[in-house]
Amino acid sequence: MGDPVKSDAKTNGFHKATNGHHQQQQEELKIAIIGQSNFAAEVLELLLERDHLIVGVFTIADKGAREDVLATVARQHGIPVFKFSAWRRKGVPIPEVLEQYRSVGANLNVLPFCSQFIPMEVIDGAAYGSICYHPSILPLHRGASAISWTLIEGDERAGFSIFWADDGLDTGPILLQKQCPVYGDDTLDTLYKRFLYPEGVTAMAEAVDMIAAGTAPKIPQTEIGASYDPALFREENQYLNLNQPAVRIFNFIRGLDSVPGALAVVQMEDGEEVPVRLYGASLSARRSMVNGKPIQFKGSTGSAFVTREGIFITGTDGSLVRVRRIKRGNRVIPAGEWFEQLGTTKATPLVLTEKEQEQDTLLRSIWKSILKVEIGPETDFFACGAGSMDVVRLVEEVKDTLEVPIDNETLFMAPMYGEFLQEVIQRMRSGSNGDRGTNIPLDFKHVVLKANRRQIAVPTQLFINGRFVDAEGAKTIPIVNPTNEQVICDVANASKVDVDDAVQAADEAFHGVWTSVSARERGQLMYRLAELMEQHREELATIESIDSGAVYTLALKTHVGMSIDAWRYYAGWADKIEGSTIPVSPARPNRVLTFTKKEPIGVCALITPWNYPLMMLSWKMAACIAAGNTVVIKPAQVCPLTALKFAELTVRAGFPPGVINVVTGTGSLAGQALADHPAVRKLGFTGSTPIGKRIMASCAESNIKKCSMELGGKSPLVIFADCDLEKAVRLGMSSVFFNKGENCIAAGRLFVEDRIHDEFVRKVIRGIKTMKIGDPLDRATAHGPQNHLAHLEKLQEYCAIGVKEGAKLLYGGKRVAKMEGLFFEPTVFTDVEDHMYIAREESFGPIMVISKFHASDFDALVARANSTEYGLASGVFTQDIAKALRFAERVEAGTVFVNTYNKTDVAAPFGGFKQSGFGKDLGKEALNEYLKTKCVTVEY
């Protein structure tokens, strides 16, 4: 709350201590309010609401052009205001000050918050005396730092007293007291905001009401349990004793949290002593610091460590205290970044555009209107006397005026105007207009791809907690361009420790910074990201072509285009996730309200395949983020580059650190570590059925984490003779050869009615011969390279088995001759029998498998289509709508295409049956994969 009143002489005889009540008042109260701050201003307004007469307000002198809020409020109500820098000079009351006080004719002094020494001539100058607010349960914690000492001493209860001023320091008779429990996570700020401020304002008005009614008691303070504690505004009292049990260290830090901060001194390796202030303490359940880097505090006999989570200080009892923030000089930084920040210098000032210069002017005007001083780059918001309400006002005005997402922490981390301006401009540039985001410095390891008339910088490190970092031991894996089989670059190869770091970052963000982002703000971040992806569309498509072999035109339209659509679609859902109310039957006469809440699950892990690297990331992650989760994604080992470029864009979009993390590496190590991690609560996987089974087992054994699986497919496509044959041929080819056959819903087996079989096959072969195979960046290319060598070899083996079992190889079946790169010929098999390997197993490549059927037995046809353990997609071509709908009813597949194929949309749910997995991507239904339903029942 701050300093109590300080007095220096006895109160008058009328207020001698008594256990009784005042006599009934004969004269109307004429109140002088002496004090400062929002607290005093609210007391003033509440007294006016209760029709008390305020004859004068006495407050502190202006700081520059900045007057105290009490003076501002008083003037708005036409109350005389007097501002004194001091009431005494050399211990003697200043005559002109006393004269001004006496001029208002007050008969009651109300001191709701006063940091000045008030002479007893004033305290006793009112006929009904003076009442003061003190933020402790007197006689405990007398003195200027009562709230802090309540926490430092580990009191189980806090509270405040309103007492009659006398010639002692907070020793006068008690008028009233109120108490509240002290919780384990309370700080000075939380106690103040939760109880001492709101209840204190009301109690001051209650006390005045009692005086007016003549019922105000005067209860002498007992000396039992009395204490007078040192003032913590003196720096020598702010130093933290590190040689005590952890709970005492924790209590001292939280007792000084926010202002002024517990002082300690770091001893550097070169002997330099660096004073720091510690904030955000908590008692840690940890008992070991495996990955901690030692830090030495002066005078401490115990050990301390820096980890990504913060600084951990060991108490004399062996328990640990975690510190989240640390201040060096004027700058507050995350404590976990202590060593990284040591060598940093001030950021190079941004070169502002003309529009940004206008925004600078607006921002300066906001600062000036609050601080009432001229604003320069070195102007420190807090050094100018700003308080907690000023922080709220600044943040809200900046958000409203400049439409930039900031919070209180933004100001705490950048309290000087120049730093704050840079932070705001950086965030605005990461938004959705014009060239925002383009000037963020490239401060990570990267490869420059020179292709498609572009030079594209792509990160090559892990992305954890908002930063690109090396893997443990700087381990890497090579990434190969399938078009020429040359190594593009080496990317970080995540270890189990790296995965744990990423999960912990996501967990902290989920329980921390992400909770302060509203659903609507979450949607706005997603829209900004989609806008940045749109701006970098050609770059992303180029990366996808080089990294995965995707044909550039297809990558532009589908790989990237549908990714952008997914982020925009789910951005719109972010603030529309709702529960429901449920009518129940309560036992009479009670009444019951039952409702459900849809809540995010927590940390979600995503493991995505290599056929659509960016699109699979977006399909899953957009729904995951819209639902309010944080995420760690492990992209495919062989083509992670678009995921890493995407991570860079999330920084530019303004996503808080830890919300999105990318770990590259092998599935057997990094992917398995995610499936096994106990802090991961949901795993979304797209890949093969055998790997899916292993992951499900790991999800069950680790912590029964929720999972969704989009696995293998052997999708049947039935083509009846009454179809539009030209369309059936065109889309039939697309159903198999789209994206080089590396398509989860590819038609794994075509059933063609015998009447049109031969003509259908001839047209397909003719169409294949017109397809251009080659460089995916060539705009005329229709068929690019397979994704990686192991897959191409698998396709060769697949075709060999088909030939061996008696299927007829009409075209292709081999690697393209005399061509550099992993190119496989589009392939056609006919005369395929139901028992054959290629009729039952997925190729995941450009291999068309054709079987005949006779239209007379519809039931047998459906049975053949369903005679697979997969059930991802299916299709039918016919002009007979009844036949089409009968097929759609009976086929066992999650998606059914009628007279089309590969026609997916972000609003339409996508997912399979049987061993093709469970759960949905896309559409509203996908949100349920990343939400949990909580049922709440209230009896009233």
How far apart CA 32 and CA 821 sit, in angstroms, is 89
Residues 321, 313 contacting (CB under 8 angstroms) = yes
Asked if residue 632 belongs to a domain, the reply is: yes
Distance, in Å, from the CA atom of 201 to the CA atom of 48, rounded to the nearest integer, reads 13
Residue 601, in any domain of the structure: yes
Write the DSSP symbol of residue 217: B
- pLDDT classification of 10: cutoffs 50, 70, 90: very low
Q: How far apart are CA 259 and CA 279, in angstroms?
A: 9
Cα radius of gyration (the chain)? 36
The residue-averaged pLDDT of 63-73 equals 84
Where among 387, 415, 430 does a domain terminate?
430
- 196 phi-psi bin (left φ>0, alpha ψ -120 to 50, beta other): alpha
Which one-letter DSSP state was computed for residue 239? B
Both 480 and 539 in a single domain? yes
DSSP-derived 3-state class of residue 689: helix
β-pairing, 117-118 with 108-111?
unpaired
Residues 509 and 374 in one domain: no
How far apart CA 884 and CA 721 sit, in angstroms, is: 13
Domain-located, residue 318: yes
CATH of the domain at 281: 3.10.25.10
Same domain (yes/no): 174, 204:
yes
Q: Rounded to an integer, what distance in angstroms lies between the CA atom of residue 111 and that of residue 307?
A: 46
Q: Give the separation between CA 574 and CA 66, rounded to whole angstroms.
A: 42
Q: Which residues constitute the domain of residue 405?
A: 354-430
Residue 599, number of CB atoms within 10 A of its CB: 15
The closest alpha carbon to 232, from 200, 257, 265, belongs to 257
CATH of the domain at 161: 3.40.50.170
Task: Summarize pLDDT for 285-337 with one digit per residue, the tens.
Answer: 877 676 789 999 999 999 999 987 889 999 999 999 999 999 888 778 888 88
Closest CA to 832 of 859, 877, 867: 867
Residue 140, in any domain of the structure: yes
- Asked whether residue 116 is marked as a ligand-binding residue, the answer is yes
Confirm or deny that 388 is annotated as ligand binding.
no
Q: What is the DSSP letter of 745?
A: T
- Which among 637, 610, 636 is positioned nearest to 549, based on CA atoms? 610
Q: Is the pLDDT of residue 18 over 80?
A: no
532 assigned to some structural domain: yes
Predicted pLDDT at 345: 47
Whether 267 and 296 have beta carbons less than 8 Å apart is answered as yes
668, 558: one domain: yes
- % of residues, the chain, pLDDT over 70: 94
Q: Over range 541-552, report the average pLDDT.
A: 97
User: What is the length of the chain?
Assistant: 940
What is each CA distance from 604 to 495, 566, 628, 677, 693, in whole angstroms? 18, 18, 10, 11, 18
The closest alpha carbon to 197, from 111, 109, 151, 135, belongs to 135
Chain centroid offset of residue 249 CA: 29
Write down which residue in 181, 213, 245 finishes a domain.
213
* Claim to verify: residue 795 and residue 824 sit in the same structural domain: yes
Residue 671 annotated in ligand binding: yes
Q: What is the dihedral of CA 280, 281, 282, 288, to 10 degrees?
A: 120
Phi, psi at residue 861, to the nearest 5°?
-60, -45
pLDDT of residue 27: 79
CA torsion sign for 410, 331, 315, 187 is: negative
CATH number of the domain residue 844 falls in: 3.40.309.10
Per the CB < 8 A criterion, the answer to whether 433 and 534 are in contact is no
| Nearest by Cα to 393 from 114, 66, 75 | 66
Question: Is there a single domain that holds both residue 657 and residue 745?
Answer: no
The region of weakest confidence among 340-354, 859-873, 913-927 is 340-354
Positions annotated as catalytic residues are 134, 710, 744
In a domain, 772, yes or no: yes
Domain holding 402: CATH number? 1.10.1200.10
What residue type is 103 in one-letter code? Answer: S
From 412, 430, 448, the end of a domain falls on 430
Q: Are residues 61 and 199 in the same domain?
A: yes
Q: Is residue 891 part of a domain?
A: yes
Q: Is residue 10 part of a domain?
A: no
Say if residue 421 is in the same domain as residue 361: yes
**Interatomic CA distance for residues 281 and 283, integer angstroms:** 7
How much is the average pLDDT of 724-734?
97
Structure tokens at 360: 């600078």
Whether 70 and 140 share a structural domain: yes
Amino acid at 536: H
Q: Name all contacts of 828-836 with Cβ < 8 Å and 24+ positions apart.
A: 828/761, 828/764, 828/765, 828/768, 829/799, 829/802, 830/757, 830/761, 831/806, 831/807, 832/749, 832/802, 832/807, 833/806, 833/807, 834/864, 834/867, 836/802, 836/805, 836/806, 836/807
Same domain, 559 and 703: yes
Q: Are residues 190 and 122 in the same domain?
A: yes
The number of distinct structural domains making up the chain is: 5
Residue 924 tokens, joined: 């509203």
Specify the pairing of strand 630-634 against strand 660-662.
parallel
Q: Rounded to two decimals, what is the model's pTM?
A: 0.69
CA nearest to 788, candidates 913, 636, 658, 906:
636
Give the pLDDT confidence score for residue 666 in this predicted structure: 97
Model confidence over 80-116: pLDDT tens digits? 999 999 999 988 999 999 999 999 999 999 999 888 8
pLDDT greater than 50 at residue 3: no
**Mean pLDDT score, 137-143:** 95
- Same domain (yes/no): 366, 256: no
